[in-house]
Amino acid sequence: MNPASTITILLLGAPVFAQSVSATVTTSTPILARAYSSVFGITQQYAVPASTSGYQLLNAGWGGSLAISQWDAFAHDTEARIYWQQRAEVFEPTPSFADAGGELLAQLSAPTPTPVQLELSRILSVTTGASTPFCSIDLGDDGIPEVTSWTSVPVLLSTTLGPQPLPIRLRSFVGHVGLGVVDVELRIRVLPGTAPSISPLVIGCTGPAGVWAPTFVGEGVVFYPFSGLAPLVLVLGLGLQPVVIPASLPTPCLLLPTPDLLVVPGLSPFFLPLPPAVRPVTVWVQGVAVTPTGLATTDGFTVIAF
């Protein structure tokens, strides 16, 4: 893209096929959930053996006792998440109880070196008199946890992911005897580490045409078009060149970016890589919709990558 160039590039339905960060989670030890009701004299328990991958939900309960253990991992072009929730709730007096616990091993990777920002957190909810659960998140599985039972605010860390998986060990045990509720969730959130900033530029005649977001792909941004809109052309420029587009609307349709790159995304995401080689750079982006009454501009944004 060159603001001094008189060449306009029109890309028709040519999205980048992206591969994001990968996130997996596997049981490192058997995970057990138990609940005992002294009112009915019955214990119910469920277990997931070690080396089990993917989403799991254990829900053991009888009478007024319930134990829950639930975990999953997912990854997208814009973020990845891993979570593990365990809950023990007892609405009967002692000796009724509920408990759940075990260990998970999460792994994060990327096909090429990818800077990321990690957010590790522990979300805790307990009733008065209930026991604080044991839990920890150990980044790198080196025996030194970054998050423990007493960590009350998220821990933010920067690192670079690659083909060699980064292990993260999660340990958790919740339990309570008698009346009370203990609920703890361990969360790992992965975001682009060198994310460009995206800020509003101008309000268009037709409102937003989609969502712009930082992405792992090319350390840039991605545009997700809304479905059901009129045909759209994205205008991307390295400069500003205000143009008023004639339209049968009460407000002026102002197009601000220089037309250095034109893209017709259709319904496909459009990825704009902004690797270190092109930074620092500012890109102005706006859309022009082809409506039954003529052309109309969409909301515009400024993308800044340092």
pLDDT tens sequence for the chain (306 residues):
333 333 344 443 334 444 689 999 999 999 999 999 999 999 999 999 999 999 999 999 999 999 999 999 999 999 999 999 999 999 999 999 999 999 999 999 999 999 999 999 999 999 998 888 999 999 999 999 999 999 999 999 999 999 999 999 999 999 999 999 999 999 999 999 999 999 999 999 888 999 999 999 999 999 999 987 778 999 999 999 999 988 666 677 899 999 999 999 988 899 999 999 999 999 999 999 988 878 899 999 999 999
Residue 162: CB partners within 8 Å, gap ≥ 6? 109, 110, 112, 113, 114
Q: Phi then psi for 217, rounded to 5 degrees?
A: -70, 115
Record the tokens describing residue 41, joined without a space: 């004299």
CA–CA gap between residue 172 and residue 151 (Å, rounded):
14
How many alpha carbons fall within 13 Å on the CB side of residue 31?
29
State pLDDT tens for residues 231-254. 899 999 999 999 998 866 667 789
CA angle, 39 as apex, 63 and 128 as ends, to 5°?
70
Q: Which residue has the tokens 């009967």?
A: 92
Q: Is residue 98 situated within a structural domain?
A: yes
- Chain centroid offset of residue 219 CA: 15
Q: Is residue 104 part of a domain?
A: yes
Which of these, 170, 171, 167, 173, lies nearest to 132 by C-alpha position?
A: 173
What span, in angstroms and rounded, lies between the C-alpha atoms of 180 and 273? Answer: 51
Same domain, 95 and 220: no
* Domain contains 204: yes
Sign of CA dihedral 156, 159, 162, 165: negative
Greatest C-alpha distance within the chain: 82
Judge if 108 and 240 occupy the same domain: no
Pairwise CA distance, residues 212 & 110, whole Å: 22
Residues 119 and 198 in one domain: no
> Do 207 and 171 fall within a single domain?
no
Q: Which two tokens stand for residue 241?
A: 């060149």
Token couple for 136: 């920890």
Residue 198 lies in a domain: yes
Q: Letter for the amino acid at 42?
A: I
- Tell me how far apart the alpha carbons of residues 196 and 283 are, in angstroms, rounded to a whole number: 10
Number of H helices, E strands in the chain: 0, 25
Domain end, chosen from 192, 225, 246, is at 192
Q: CA dist 174 to 45, 56, 129, 138, 201, Å? A: 14, 17, 14, 18, 49
- Both 64 and 181 in a single domain? yes
Q: How far apart are the first and last CA of the chain?
A: 17
Residues 90 and 136 in one domain: yes
Whether 140 and 272 map to the same domain: the answer is: no
User: pLDDT, tens digit, for every residue of 4-40?
Assistant: 333 344 443 334 444 689 999 999 999 999 999 999 9
Considering the domain boundaries, does residue 11 fall inside one?
A: no
Q: Quick one: 145 and 207 in the same domain?
A: no
Angle at 54 between CA 155 and CA 148, to 5 degrees: 25
Q: Which domain holds residue 108?
A: 22-192
**73 plus 116 within the same structural domain:** yes
- 152 shares its domain with 120: yes
| Domain closes at, from 156, 172, 192 | 192
Q: How many domains does the chain have?
A: 2
216 phi, psi to nearest 5 deg: -65, -30
Residue where one domain finishes, among candidates 192, 216, 232: 192
Check whether residue 179 and residue 37 sit in a common domain: yes
CA gap 73, 165 in Å, rounded: 14
Q: How far apart are CA 239 and CA 242, in angstroms?
A: 10
- Residue 143: which residues within 8 A CB-CB, separation 6 or more? none
